């Protein structure tokens, strides 16, 4: 009996030591970084990072994260037949997408973020999405700087700009764990630009002003366009954008409201509604007969092409009460492309409305069901003074097997209205099912 007891004691000590060794190994790969949104389920419904000092500074640390998404779809599409659609649409698996994220704790309150697309629909090769420096403290001594940074955050780099709240819930390549549905909005406001953002945050109130180069990449050349044999040179202006938000808890009820604006009077090539470089999660729908997944990567989305002059406003509302979750968006964009500008065409006006209704089940809310209504209407085509509209209804649900693993599915029905007879979208639409397996950490 003594031998058995000794074996039990030593075995227990070995088990504890092995468990501690594994925990230490995991903590080295996944250390906590200050002022960072988690990449798993606990990052859901997190918008801007807070000023809460929940993680102590312990020197230089590097944290790696990733997002993986594998998709299966069974979709069908139709149109008037004036322009042939992709004829070989059949059930199957899409391109698996993957992102690699790296956060580096450089100093107390100072971190670096770098994200790489390892695999995406729009690009076969791995390439860097962008990176930025985030400062929640400054390395300057003095009471003025300490008092300022109690409520301030500064972001500098080539990054996804903070226009609207929807980009916190969208799918971005392999990083899809925060999106309760398979795809983003019809008019997908997202752009990575060289930018600087200054935030003030206090007790659920947020104000932000930002300035960017207005481009998805750099630009040194003086922009120009040739129309009817005449060359027009024009200035490339920076984009100015801002956001105000309030986020409060009233008992068990959480309420958030946000308003954002983005403006550029003379952009080189604004991609606010065409800045995604990974691709849609609906493959080949409403694409032409010779389409391929890489070059026709944004199936099911609408880009109004307001690439030279743009003023966009997005209003968002979020409410969560126990398992019930509502997220709504109203968006208005007005502008024109460079050809429209130099031919004195009037600015076009486009509106978007969307509503997500989600109910999360269980004490840990690991299962959810929900629906989304999304509509876009206005002068969507530069070639037509008429108005068009696109409507989508999506119904789906998901199951978090763990906080890092999500299985979700949806049924989608999207219709295109009032497009000209020469358009592939004339009397067009698609519908069917999509299933996604997601890993995020």
Ranges in the chain, pLDDT < 70: 1-29
Q: What is the CA radius of gyration of the chain?
A: 24
pLDDT at residue 9 in the model = 42
pLDDT at residue 24 in the model = 54
pLDDT at residue 27 in the model = 58
Using a 10 angstrom Cβ sphere, with 0-12 exposed, 13-18 middle and 19 or more buried, the burial of residue 212 is buried
pLDDT at residue 223 in the model = 87
pLDDT at residue 181 in the model = 98
pLDDT at residue 18 in the model = 52
Is the Cα torsion angle 159, 405, 96, 288 positive or negative in sign? Answer: negative
- Say how far apart CA 112 and CA 231 lie, in whole Å: 43
pLDDT tens, residue by residue, 139-155:
988 899 989 999 999 99
Is the Cα torsion angle 57, 58, 59, 61 positive or negative in sign? Answer: negative
Tokens (6 digits) for 263: 């403006």
- Say how far apart CA 133 and CA 107 lie, in whole Å: 11
- Say how far apart CA 348 and CA 332 lie, in whole Å: 11
pLDDT at residue 26 in the model = 53
- Say how far apart CA 348 and CA 333 lie, in whole Å: 8
Fold of 60-440: Porin (2.40.160)
Contact between residue 299 and residue 432 where contact means Cβ atoms under 8 Å apart: no
What is the separation of C-alpha 118 from the centre of its chain, rounded to a whole number of angstroms? 17
CA neighbours closer than 13 Å in the CB half-sphere of residue 16: 6
DSSP state of 342: H
pLDDT at residue 17 in the model = 47
């Amino acid at each position: 009996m003594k031998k058995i007891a000794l074996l039990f004691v030593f075995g227990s000590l070995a088990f504890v030591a092995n468990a501690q060794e594994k925990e230490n190994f995991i903590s080295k790969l996944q250390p906590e970084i200050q002022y960072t949104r988690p990449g798993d389920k606990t990052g859901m419904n997190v918008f801007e990072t807070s000023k809460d000092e929940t993680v102590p500074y312990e020197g230089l640390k590097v944290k790696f994260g990733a997002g993986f998404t594998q998709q299966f779809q069974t979709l069908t599409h139709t149109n008037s037949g004036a322009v042939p659609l992709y004829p070989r649409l059949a059930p199957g698996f899409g391109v698996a997408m993957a992102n690699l994220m790296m956060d580096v704790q450089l100093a107390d309150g100072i971190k670096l973020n770098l994200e790489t697309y390892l695999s995406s629909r729009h690009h076969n090769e791995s390439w860097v999405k962008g990176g930025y420096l985030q400062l929640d403290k400054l390395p300057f001594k003095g009471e003025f700087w300490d008092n300022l940074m109690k409520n301030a955050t500064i972001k500098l780099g080539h990054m996804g700009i903070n226009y609207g709240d929807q980009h916190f819930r969208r799918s971005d390549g392999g990083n899809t764990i925060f999106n309760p549905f398979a795809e983003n909005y019809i008019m997908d406001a997202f752009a990575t630009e060289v930018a600087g953002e200054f935030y003030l945050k206090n007790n659920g109130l947020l104000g932000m002003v930002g300035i960017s180069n207005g481009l998805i990449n750099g630009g040194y050349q003086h922009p120009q366009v040739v129309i009817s044999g005449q060359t027009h040179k024009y200035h490339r202006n920076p984009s100015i954008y801002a956001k105000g938000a309030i986020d409060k808890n009233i008992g068990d009820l959480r309420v958030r409201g946000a308003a954002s604006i983005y403006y550029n009077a003379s952009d080189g090539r604004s991609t606010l509604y065409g800045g995604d470089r990974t691709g849609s999660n609906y493959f080949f729908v409403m694409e032409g007969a010779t389409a391929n997944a890489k070059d026709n990567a944004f199936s099911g989305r609408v880009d109004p092409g307001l690439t030279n002059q743009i003023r966009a406003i997005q209003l968002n509302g979020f409410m969560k009460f126990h398992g019930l979750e509502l997220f709504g968006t109203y968006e208005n964009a007005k502008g024109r492309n460079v050809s429209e500008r130099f031919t004195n065409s009037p600015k076009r006006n486009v509106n978007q409305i969307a509503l997500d209704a989600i109910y999360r089940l269980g004490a840990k809310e690991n299962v959810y069901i929900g629906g989304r209504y999304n509509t876009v209407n206005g002068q969507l085509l530069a070639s037509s003074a008429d108005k068009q509209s696109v409507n989508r209804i999506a119904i789906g649900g998901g199951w978090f097997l763990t906080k890092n693993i999500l299985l979700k599915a949806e049924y989608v029905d999207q219709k295109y209205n009032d497009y000209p007879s020469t358009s592939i979208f004339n009397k067009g639409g698609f519908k069917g099912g999509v299933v996604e397996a997601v890993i995020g950490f």
